[in-house]
Amino acid sequence: MLPTPDTDHIDPNTTYSPAEDSYLVLDTLTSDAGFLHSHFAPPSSPPLILELGTGSGIISAFISTNTTALFGRADVHLLGTDANSIACAATAQTLSLTPAPSHFLGALVADLAAPLRDHVVDMLVFNPPYVPTPELPSLRAEHGATEFEEESRLLALTYAGGEDGMEVTRRVLMGLGSVLSQRGVAYILLCRSNRPGEVVEGLRGQGWRCEKAGGSGRRGGIERLEIWRIWR
Ligand SMILES: C[S@@+](CC[C@H](N)C(=O)[O-])C[C@H]1O[C@@H](n2cnc3c(N)ncnc32)[C@H](O)[C@@H]1O
The end-to-end CA distance of the chain, in Å, is 30
> Hey, whose CA ends up nearest to atom 11 of ligand 1?
53
> Hey, whose CA ends up nearest to atom 5 of ligand 1?
55
More confident of the two residues 53 and 5? 53
Give residue 1's pLDDT: 77
Bridge-partner residues for 103, per DSSP? Answer: 77
The mean pLDDT value of the chain amounts to 95
Residue type, 174: M
pTM of the model: 0.97
* Strand (E) or helix (H) holding 37: helix 33-39
Q: What is the pLDDT of residues 124-166, one digit of tens each?
A: 999 999 999 999 999 999 999 999 999 999 999 999 999 999 9
> Hey, whose CA ends up nearest to atom 16 of ligand 1?
157
Cβ of 127 closer than 6 Å to ligand 1, yes or no, is yes
Q: How confident is the model at residue 3 (pLDDT cuts 50, 70, 90)?
A: confident
* Strand (E) or helix (H) holding 81: strand 77-82
Give the distance (Å) from ligand 1 centre to CA of residue 123.
17
Per-state percent for the chain, helix, strand, coil, to nearest 5: 35, 25, 40
For residues 83 and 157, the answer to whether their CB atoms sit within 8 Å is yes
**Angle value at C-alpha 120, between 119 and 126, nearest 5 degrees:** 95
Domain ranges of the chain: 20-39+48-231
Atom of ligand 1 nearest to the CA of 111: 20
Residue 210 in this model has a pLDDT that exceeds 70? yes
Class of domain 20-39+48-231: alpha beta
Q: How confident is the model at residue 220 (pLDDT cuts 50, 70, 90)?
A: low
Cβ of 137 closer than 6 Å to ligand 1, yes or no, is no
Q: What is the pLDDT of residues 86-130, one digit of tens each?
A: 999 999 999 999 887 789 999 999 999 999 999 999 999 999 999
* Strand (E) or helix (H) holding 79: strand 77-82
Quote the CA–CA distance of 230 and 208 in Å, as a whole number. 6
User: What contacts 20, CB < 8 A, 6 or more positions away?
Assistant: 216, 217, 225
Label the pairing between strands 180-191 and 222-231.
Answer: antiparallel
With H, G, I as helix, E, B as strand and everything else as coil, classify residue 144.
Answer: coil
Q: What is the pLDDT of residues 13-54, one digit of tens each?
A: 999 999 999 999 999 999 999 999 999 999 999 999 999 999
Q: How confident is the model at residue 217 (pLDDT cuts 50, 70, 90)?
A: confident
Quote the CA–CA distance of 112 and 65 in Å, as a whole number. 23
Give residue 218's pLDDT: 67
Candidate from 11, 82, 173 with most ligand 1 atoms within 8 A of CB, to mutate: 82
Q: How confident is the model at residue 222 (pLDDT cuts 50, 70, 90)?
A: low
Give the distance (Å) from ligand 1 centre to CA of residue 43.
33
Quote the CA–CA distance of 165 and 86 in Å, as a whole number. 23
Residue 75 in this model has a pLDDT that exceeds 70? yes
